[in-house]
Amino acid sequence: MVRAGLTLERLTRAGAELADEVGFDQVTVSALARRFDVKVASLYSHLKNSHDLRTRIALLALEELADRGAAALAGRAGKDALGAFADVYRDYAREHPGRYAAAQYRLDPEAAAASAGGRHSRMTRAILRGYDLTEPDETHAVRLLGSVFHGYVSLEAQGGFSHSAPDSQESWSRIVDALDALLRNWPAP
């Protein structure tokens, strides 16, 4: 009996690929076993259960996204940083729809704490350093940016903006312009 060389690492990575190919909610322990040409039960020495698998894929996606965000932010500031960071989200979701869906998977508190969630909000806050916002407005703005990026990308993934003019890329650019303008002129309470 030749060993397949299963590891948590490889299982998670293969799960992420599977998600991109067939959709995150089609990611199943069975499908993963099939992909490694191994019996299903074998995976249960590595994974606690199916929720565990999905959580690990989610954490992977969040890390990858944060890595890309950090790379995009390096050496940029102001609107330049804002646009680059926004594109990271959109491009990642388009390249890796399954992983992006995974990043939305509801994590339990411990997983959430161990996730790259903190890096994401710190990066968003770093972008806002290019604008003159003070607390609590900076926090409101962090939440607004997170909402727009996530919301736009989700709606786009659902096909919300396809088949209608103007095309999605143009709206995306103009929305980034609008957010930049808004952050430069954040209204007083």
Residues near a copy of itself, by CB under 8 A: 25, 104, 106, 112, 136-137, 139-141, 143-144, 146-152, 154-155, 158-161, 164-166, 170-171, 174-175, 177-178, 180-182, 185-187, 189
The binder of DNA chosen from 13, 14, 17, 28 (CB under 7 A) = 28
Q: Is 49 helix (H, G, I), strand (E, B) or coil?
A: coil
Is residue 5 at the binding interface for DNA, with CB under 7 A as the rule? yes
Q: 186 is in the binding site of which of DNA, a copy of itself, none (Cβ under 5 to 8 A by kind)?
A: a copy of itself
Closest distance of CB 124 from a copy of itself, Å: 12
Provide the b/e sequence for 127-148 (b: ≥16 CB within 10 Å).
bbebbebeeebbeebbebbeeb
CB of 184 to a copy of itself, least distance (A): 9
Residue 46: Cβ within 10 Å count: 16
Contact between 100 and 61 under an 8 Å Cβ cutoff? The reply is yes
Which residue, 75 or 166, is less far from a copy of itself as judged by CB?
A: 166
d(CA 167, CA 50): 38
